[in-house]
């Protein structure tokens, strides 16, 4: 188990909660040998993450529809910079990154609030 110092307290991170493999990638336009533009997926990071979804009850209370449900991916803070123009792939589904959060501003855990891409 790993510990980190949080200003006044010590908080333990449960490494077992990061058991789902996600892929964070960026889609780039590349010119091929014939001069055509093609879209290429470039893998940025493949961390293990904790995956949480918003419950349906929360959506009904907040007067929103089910299509606006977000999925939260929480993983250890990476050395690579993650931006909102990247995509997340999990269990064959693609998600757009809506919000990037450095939890507690400690540089220990990162949270991505993502929305599933409708095909």
Residue 14 backbone dihedrals phi, psi, to 5 degrees: -85, 105
pLDDT band at 119 (very low <50, low <70, confident <90, very high): low
Query: Is 66 in a helix, a strand, or coil?
Result: helix
Residue 56 backbone dihedrals phi, psi, to 5 degrees: -60, -35
pLDDT band at 1 (very low <50, low <70, confident <90, very high): very low
Nearest to 82 by CA among 68, 67, 98: 98
Span 17-40, pLDDT tens digits: 888 999 999 999 999 888 899 999
**Is the pLDDT score of 65 beyond 90?**
no
Determine the pLDDT at residue 118. Answer: 78
CATH no. for 18-116: 2.40.10.270
pLDDT band at 58 (very low <50, low <70, confident <90, very high): low
Domain ranges, ordered by start, for the chain: 18-116
């Amino acid at each position: 188990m790993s510990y980190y110092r949080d200003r006044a307290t010590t908080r333990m991170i449960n490494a077992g909660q990061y058991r789902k493999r996600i892929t964070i990638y960026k889609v780039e336009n590349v010119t091929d040998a014939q001069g055509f533009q093609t879209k290429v997926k470039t893998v940025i990071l493949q961390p293990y993450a904790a995956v949480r979804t918003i419950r349906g009850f929360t959506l009904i209370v907040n007067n929103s529809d089910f299509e606006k449900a977000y999925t939260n991916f929480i993983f250890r803070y990476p050395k690579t910079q993650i931006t909102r123009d990247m995509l997340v792939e999990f269990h064959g589904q693609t998600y757009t990154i809506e919000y990037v959060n450095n939890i507690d501003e400690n540089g220990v855990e990162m949270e991505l609030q993502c929305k599933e891409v409708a095909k």
